[in-house]
Protein backbone atom coordinates (compact mmCIF):
# COMPACT_ATOMS: atom_id res chain seq x y z
CA UNK A 1 0.00 0.00 0.00
CA UNK A 2 1.05 3.63 -0.36
CA UNK A 3 -0.27 7.16 -0.03
CA UNK A 4 0.02 9.47 -3.02
CA UNK A 5 -0.98 13.12 -2.89
CA UNK A 6 -1.35 16.30 -4.91
CA UNK A 7 -1.49 19.85 -3.60
CA UNK A 8 -4.10 21.77 -5.58
CA UNK A 9 -4.03 25.49 -6.35
CA UNK A 10 -1.13 27.83 -6.97
CA UNK A 11 0.94 30.09 -4.70
CA UNK A 12 -1.12 32.88 -3.17
CA UNK A 13 -4.33 31.24 -4.39
CA UNK A 14 -6.86 28.93 -2.76
CA UNK A 15 -5.41 25.51 -2.02
CA UNK A 16 -6.52 21.99 -1.21
CA UNK A 17 -5.00 18.53 -0.87
CA UNK A 18 -6.02 15.41 -2.78
CA UNK A 19 -4.75 12.26 -1.04
CA UNK A 20 -5.02 8.71 -2.35
CA UNK A 21 -4.54 5.46 -0.43
CA UNK A 22 -3.43 2.79 -2.90
CA UNK A 23 -3.90 -0.76 -1.61
CA UNK A 24 -3.16 -2.77 -4.74
CA UNK A 25 -6.82 -3.75 -4.92
CA UNK A 26 -8.44 -0.31 -4.55
CA UNK A 27 -7.75 3.42 -4.47
CA UNK A 28 -9.39 5.51 -1.75
CA UNK A 29 -9.46 9.23 -2.62
CA UNK A 30 -9.98 11.97 -0.03
CA UNK A 31 -10.02 15.74 -0.51
CA UNK A 32 -8.92 18.11 2.23
CA UNK A 33 -10.57 21.52 1.81
CA UNK A 34 -11.94 22.67 -1.53
CA UNK A 35 -10.78 26.15 -2.49
CA UNK A 36 -11.86 28.04 -5.59
CA UNK A 37 -10.68 26.49 -8.88
CA UNK A 38 -8.72 23.75 -7.09
CA UNK A 39 -10.64 20.96 -8.82
CA UNK A 40 -9.75 22.30 -12.26
CA UNK A 41 -6.47 20.41 -11.79
CA UNK A 42 -8.31 17.12 -11.28
CA UNK A 43 -9.93 15.03 -14.06
CA UNK A 44 -13.71 14.80 -13.70
CA UNK A 45 -13.40 11.01 -13.61
CA UNK A 46 -11.31 11.38 -10.44
CA UNK A 47 -13.68 13.95 -8.91
CA UNK A 48 -16.40 11.30 -9.27
CA UNK A 49 -14.29 8.92 -7.18
CA UNK A 50 -13.51 11.19 -4.22
CA UNK A 51 -15.03 9.50 -1.21
CA UNK A 52 -14.83 12.35 1.28
CA UNK A 53 -14.16 16.07 1.63
CA UNK A 54 -12.61 17.00 4.97
CA UNK A 55 -12.86 20.72 5.73
CA UNK A 56 -10.47 22.42 8.11
CA UNK A 57 -12.93 25.30 8.54
CA UNK A 58 -15.35 27.29 6.44
CA UNK A 59 -13.58 30.53 5.54
CA UNK A 60 -14.39 31.21 1.90
CA UNK A 61 -10.95 30.29 0.58
CA UNK A 62 -11.40 26.75 1.92
CA UNK A 63 -14.90 26.03 0.61
CA UNK A 64 -15.36 28.26 -2.45
CA UNK A 65 -14.79 25.32 -4.83
CA UNK A 66 -17.27 22.97 -3.18
CA UNK A 67 -20.09 23.80 -5.60
CA UNK A 68 -18.01 22.27 -8.40
CA UNK A 69 -17.51 19.08 -6.41
CA UNK A 70 -21.20 18.99 -5.50
CA UNK A 71 -22.30 19.51 -9.10
CA UNK A 72 -20.47 16.36 -10.18
CA UNK A 73 -21.53 14.23 -7.20
CA UNK A 74 -24.99 15.34 -6.02
CA UNK A 75 -26.63 12.15 -7.33
CA UNK A 76 -23.75 9.76 -6.93
CA UNK A 77 -25.13 6.21 -7.12
CA UNK A 78 -22.32 4.05 -5.77
CA UNK A 79 -21.89 5.09 -2.13
CA UNK A 80 -22.59 7.98 0.26
CA UNK A 81 -20.24 10.96 0.05
CA UNK A 82 -18.67 11.87 3.39
CA UNK A 83 -18.17 15.48 4.44
CA UNK A 84 -16.34 16.35 7.65
CA UNK A 85 -15.89 19.70 9.36
CA UNK A 86 -15.67 21.54 12.67
CA UNK A 87 -18.52 22.96 14.71
CA UNK A 88 -21.18 24.42 12.42
CA UNK A 89 -20.51 21.98 9.57
CA UNK A 90 -24.06 20.65 9.43
CA UNK A 91 -25.64 24.08 9.07
CA UNK A 92 -23.03 25.39 6.63
CA UNK A 93 -23.25 22.39 4.32
CA UNK A 94 -27.04 22.10 4.56
CA UNK A 95 -27.27 25.66 3.26
CA UNK A 96 -24.93 24.76 0.38
CA UNK A 97 -27.13 21.77 -0.49
CA UNK A 98 -30.30 23.83 -0.39
CA UNK A 99 -28.93 26.75 -2.33
CA UNK A 100 -30.13 25.21 -5.59
CA UNK A 101 -33.53 24.39 -7.09
CA UNK A 102 -34.34 20.66 -7.01
CA UNK A 103 -37.43 19.74 -8.99
CA UNK A 104 -36.44 16.60 -10.92
CA UNK A 105 -34.78 14.39 -8.34
CA UNK A 106 -37.64 12.28 -6.93
CA UNK A 107 -35.98 9.06 -8.05
CA UNK A 108 -32.38 10.29 -8.01
CA UNK A 109 -29.74 8.43 -6.01
CA UNK A 110 -27.37 10.40 -3.83
CA UNK A 111 -26.62 10.55 -0.13
CA UNK A 112 -24.34 12.82 1.87
CA UNK A 113 -23.10 12.04 5.37
CA UNK A 114 -22.03 15.20 7.17
CA UNK A 115 -19.88 14.66 10.27
CA UNK A 116 -19.48 17.59 12.63
CA UNK A 117 -16.69 17.52 15.20
CA UNK A 118 -17.87 19.22 18.39
CA UNK A 119 -15.62 17.85 21.15
CA UNK A 120 -16.38 15.80 23.10
CA UNK A 121 -18.96 14.64 20.49
CA UNK A 122 -18.92 13.49 16.88
CA UNK A 123 -22.29 14.00 15.21
CA UNK A 124 -23.27 12.75 11.74
CA UNK A 125 -26.39 13.54 9.71
CA UNK A 126 -27.51 12.11 6.36
CA UNK A 127 -28.98 14.24 3.55
CA UNK A 128 -30.71 12.56 0.59
CA UNK A 129 -30.88 13.92 -2.95
CA UNK A 130 -34.39 12.52 -3.50
CA UNK A 131 -35.56 14.57 -0.48
CA UNK A 132 -34.00 17.70 -1.99
CA UNK A 133 -31.59 17.70 0.96
CA UNK A 134 -34.41 19.12 3.09
CA UNK A 135 -34.12 16.72 6.03
CA UNK A 136 -31.11 16.10 8.26
CA UNK A 137 -31.36 12.47 9.41
CA UNK A 138 -29.34 11.84 12.57
CA UNK A 139 -27.06 8.84 11.99
CA UNK A 140 -24.67 9.12 14.92
CA UNK A 141 -24.07 11.10 18.08
CA UNK A 142 -21.02 9.50 19.65
CA UNK A 143 -17.99 10.38 21.78
CA UNK A 144 -15.17 11.90 19.75
CA UNK A 145 -11.91 10.09 20.50
CA UNK A 146 -9.87 11.76 17.77
CA UNK A 147 -10.96 9.38 15.01
CA UNK A 148 -13.19 10.78 12.27
CA UNK A 149 -13.47 7.72 10.05
CA UNK A 150 -11.86 4.29 9.96
CA UNK A 151 -11.89 1.44 7.46
CA UNK A 152 -9.76 -1.66 6.97
CA UNK A 153 -7.25 0.20 4.76
CA UNK A 154 -6.97 3.59 6.48
CA UNK A 155 -7.94 5.85 9.36
CA UNK A 156 -8.67 9.60 9.38
CA UNK A 157 -7.98 11.47 12.60
CA UNK A 158 -8.54 15.13 13.51
CA UNK A 159 -7.56 17.64 16.16
CA UNK A 160 -9.18 21.01 16.87
CA UNK A 161 -6.84 24.00 16.61
CA UNK A 162 -7.31 27.74 17.10
CA UNK A 163 -7.85 30.02 14.10
CA UNK A 164 -9.98 32.46 16.02
CA UNK A 165 -12.59 29.73 15.50
CA UNK A 166 -12.33 25.94 15.61
CA UNK A 167 -10.12 24.65 12.79
CA UNK A 168 -9.43 20.96 12.17
CA UNK A 169 -6.03 19.49 11.43
CA UNK A 170 -6.18 16.06 9.81
CA UNK A 171 -3.99 12.98 9.79
CA UNK A 172 -4.60 10.23 7.23
CA UNK A 173 -2.99 6.98 8.37
CA UNK A 174 -2.58 3.96 6.15
CA UNK A 175 -3.28 0.72 8.02
CA UNK A 176 -0.23 -1.32 9.06
CA UNK A 177 1.01 -3.85 6.55
CA UNK A 178 1.95 -7.45 7.27
CA UNK A 179 5.11 -8.50 5.41
CA UNK A 180 7.04 -11.75 5.41
CA UNK A 181 10.44 -12.06 7.02
CA UNK A 182 11.93 -13.87 4.03
CA UNK A 183 15.17 -14.59 5.84
CA UNK A 184 13.27 -16.41 8.56
CA UNK A 185 11.30 -18.34 5.91
CA UNK A 186 14.53 -19.48 4.24
CA UNK A 187 16.14 -20.40 7.55
CA UNK A 188 13.22 -22.74 8.24
CA UNK A 189 13.86 -24.48 4.94
CA UNK A 190 10.66 -23.25 3.27
CA UNK A 191 10.28 -21.86 -0.22
CA UNK A 192 8.07 -18.86 -1.07
CA UNK A 193 4.85 -19.87 -2.78
CA UNK A 194 1.05 -19.63 -2.87
CA UNK A 195 0.88 -20.64 0.80
CA UNK A 196 2.05 -17.14 1.71
CA UNK A 197 -1.20 -15.61 0.45
CA UNK A 198 -3.21 -17.84 2.77
CA UNK A 199 -1.01 -16.93 5.72
CA UNK A 200 -1.31 -13.20 5.12
CA UNK A 201 -4.95 -13.02 4.04
CA UNK A 202 -6.76 -13.19 7.36
CA UNK A 203 -6.62 -14.23 11.00
CA UNK A 204 -6.94 -18.02 10.91
CA UNK A 205 -8.88 -20.16 13.33
CA UNK A 206 -6.74 -22.33 15.65
CA UNK A 207 -7.20 -25.49 13.57
CA UNK A 208 -6.61 -24.06 10.07
CA UNK A 209 -3.68 -25.57 8.21
CA UNK A 210 -1.86 -25.27 4.91
CA UNK A 211 0.25 -27.86 3.10
CA UNK A 212 3.74 -26.75 2.02
CA UNK A 213 5.74 -29.26 -0.04
CA UNK A 214 3.71 -32.12 1.35
CA UNK A 215 3.97 -31.06 4.99
CA UNK A 216 0.98 -29.70 6.93
CA UNK A 217 1.53 -26.50 8.93
CA UNK A 218 -0.79 -24.56 11.21
CA UNK A 219 -1.53 -21.13 9.73
CA UNK A 220 -1.41 -19.49 13.17
CA UNK A 221 2.13 -20.80 13.70
CA UNK A 222 3.26 -19.55 10.32
CA UNK A 223 1.83 -16.09 10.99
CA UNK A 224 3.56 -15.87 14.33
CA UNK A 225 6.92 -17.00 12.96
CA UNK A 226 7.10 -15.17 9.67
CA UNK A 227 4.83 -12.11 9.56
CA UNK A 228 6.19 -8.73 10.61
CA UNK A 229 3.96 -5.69 11.07
CA UNK A 230 5.16 -2.63 9.15
CA UNK A 231 3.62 0.76 9.89
CA UNK A 232 1.73 2.30 6.99
CA UNK A 233 2.43 5.72 5.52
CA UNK A 234 0.68 8.81 6.83
CA UNK A 235 0.05 12.37 5.72
CA UNK A 236 -0.91 15.35 7.86
CA UNK A 237 -2.90 18.33 6.60
CA UNK A 238 -2.20 21.42 8.72
CA UNK A 239 -3.51 24.86 7.89
CA UNK A 240 -4.77 28.09 9.43
CA UNK A 241 -4.01 28.01 13.13
CA UNK A 242 -1.99 29.71 15.83
CA UNK A 243 0.89 27.63 17.18
CA UNK A 244 1.24 28.33 20.88
CA UNK A 245 3.33 26.10 23.14
CA UNK A 246 0.44 23.90 24.25
CA UNK A 247 -0.82 23.36 20.69
CA UNK A 248 2.69 22.56 19.53
CA UNK A 249 3.20 19.89 22.19
CA UNK A 250 -0.14 18.29 21.37
CA UNK A 251 0.64 18.24 17.65
CA UNK A 252 4.11 16.76 18.14
CA UNK A 253 2.71 13.91 20.23
CA UNK A 254 -0.11 13.25 17.76
CA UNK A 255 2.02 13.42 14.61
CA UNK A 256 4.79 11.13 15.86
CA UNK A 257 5.93 8.92 12.99
CA UNK A 258 4.11 10.98 10.37
CA UNK A 259 5.54 10.34 6.90
CA UNK A 260 4.54 13.60 5.19
CA UNK A 261 3.40 16.98 6.50
CA UNK A 262 1.52 19.33 4.19
CA UNK A 263 1.59 22.55 6.15
CA UNK A 264 0.71 26.20 5.67
CA UNK A 265 3.51 28.73 5.52
CA UNK A 266 1.36 31.82 5.32
CA UNK A 267 3.82 34.44 6.54
CA UNK A 268 7.52 35.23 6.58
CA UNK A 269 9.29 35.69 9.89
CA UNK A 270 9.35 39.46 9.45
CA UNK A 271 5.54 39.52 9.39
CA UNK A 272 4.91 37.82 12.71
CA UNK A 273 2.57 40.56 13.90
CA UNK A 274 0.35 40.00 10.84
CA UNK A 275 0.48 36.24 11.39
CA UNK A 276 -0.50 36.47 15.02
CA UNK A 277 -3.35 38.89 14.38
CA UNK A 278 -4.84 36.47 11.82
CA UNK A 279 -4.06 33.25 13.72
CA UNK A 280 -1.42 31.95 11.33
CA UNK A 281 2.17 30.74 11.60
CA UNK A 282 5.42 32.19 10.33
CA UNK A 283 8.31 30.25 8.80
CA UNK A 284 10.09 29.77 12.14
CA UNK A 285 6.97 28.20 13.66
CA UNK A 286 6.55 25.79 10.75
CA UNK A 287 10.23 24.85 10.82
CA UNK A 288 10.26 24.26 14.58
CA UNK A 289 7.16 22.06 14.41
CA UNK A 290 8.60 20.05 11.51
CA UNK A 291 11.95 19.62 13.28
CA UNK A 292 10.16 18.15 16.30
CA UNK A 293 7.87 15.86 14.27
CA UNK A 294 10.63 15.00 11.76
CA UNK A 295 8.57 13.76 8.78
CA UNK A 296 10.30 12.42 5.70
CA UNK A 297 8.76 15.27 3.67
CA UNK A 298 7.49 18.73 4.52
CA UNK A 299 5.44 20.32 1.73
CA UNK A 300 4.62 24.00 2.25
CA UNK A 301 1.47 25.55 0.84
CA UNK A 302 -1.21 28.16 1.58
CA UNK A 303 1.12 31.14 1.32
CA UNK A 304 0.03 34.76 1.37
CA UNK A 305 -0.61 36.52 -1.94
CA UNK A 306 1.33 39.52 -0.65
CA UNK A 307 4.67 37.93 -1.57
CA UNK A 308 6.60 37.90 -4.85
CA UNK A 309 8.22 34.72 -6.14
CA UNK A 310 11.57 35.96 -4.86
CA UNK A 311 10.11 36.58 -1.41
CA UNK A 312 8.60 33.09 -1.43
CA UNK A 313 12.00 31.62 -2.21
CA UNK A 314 13.39 33.54 0.77
CA UNK A 315 10.50 32.26 2.87
CA UNK A 316 11.34 28.69 1.87
CA UNK A 317 14.95 29.23 2.92
CA UNK A 318 13.73 30.48 6.31
CA UNK A 319 12.12 27.10 6.87
CA UNK A 320 15.04 25.14 5.43
CA UNK A 321 17.41 26.82 7.84
CA UNK A 322 15.95 24.58 10.55
CA UNK A 323 14.32 21.83 8.48
CA UNK A 324 16.24 21.24 5.22
CA UNK A 325 13.68 18.82 3.71
CA UNK A 326 11.09 21.57 3.22
CA UNK A 327 9.74 22.13 -0.29
CA UNK A 328 6.99 23.91 -2.19
CA UNK A 329 4.84 21.87 -4.62
CA UNK A 330 7.00 21.24 -7.68
CA UNK A 331 4.48 22.72 -10.12
CA UNK A 332 4.76 26.09 -8.35
CA UNK A 333 8.20 26.44 -9.95
CA UNK A 334 9.59 28.44 -7.01
Distance CA 240, CA 180 (A): 42
Distance CA 139, CA 188 (A): 51
Tell me if 146 sits within 8 A of 159, measured CB to CB. yes
Report the candidate in 69, 66, 88 with the shortest Cα–Cα distance to residue 160: 88
In the β-sheet with 234-238, what is the strand arrangement from edge to edge?
147-150, 154-162, 166-174, 234-238, 260-264, 297-301, 326-327
The C-alpha angle with vertex 14 and arms to 11 and 15, in degrees rounded to 5, equals 80
CB atoms inside a 10 Å sphere around CB 141:
12
CB atoms inside a 10 Å sphere around CB 334:
18
Helix (H) or strand (E) holding 126: strand 121-128
Task: Verify whether residue 181 is a known catalytic residue.
Answer: no
Residue spans of beta strands (DSSP E) within 225-301: 227-230, 234-238, 260-264, 297-301
DSSP letter string, 7-33: EES-TTS--EEEEEEE-SS-EEEEEE-
Distance CA 204, CA 305 (A): 56
Distance CA 242, CA 224 (A): 46
Catalytic residue (choose from 61, 67, 153, 162): 61
Helix (H) or strand (E) holding 92: helix 89-97
Residues forming the active site: 61
Amino acid sequence: MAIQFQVLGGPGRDNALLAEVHTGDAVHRLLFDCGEDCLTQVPISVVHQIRAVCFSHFHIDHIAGFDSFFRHNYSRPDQPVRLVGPEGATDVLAHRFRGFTWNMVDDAPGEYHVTEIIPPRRVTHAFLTKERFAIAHLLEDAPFDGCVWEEADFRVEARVLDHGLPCLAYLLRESPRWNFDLQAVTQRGLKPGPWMRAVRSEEPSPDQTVVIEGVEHRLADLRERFLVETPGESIAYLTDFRLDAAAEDRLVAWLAGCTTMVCENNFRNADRSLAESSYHMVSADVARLAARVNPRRLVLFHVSDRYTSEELREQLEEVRAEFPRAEFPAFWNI
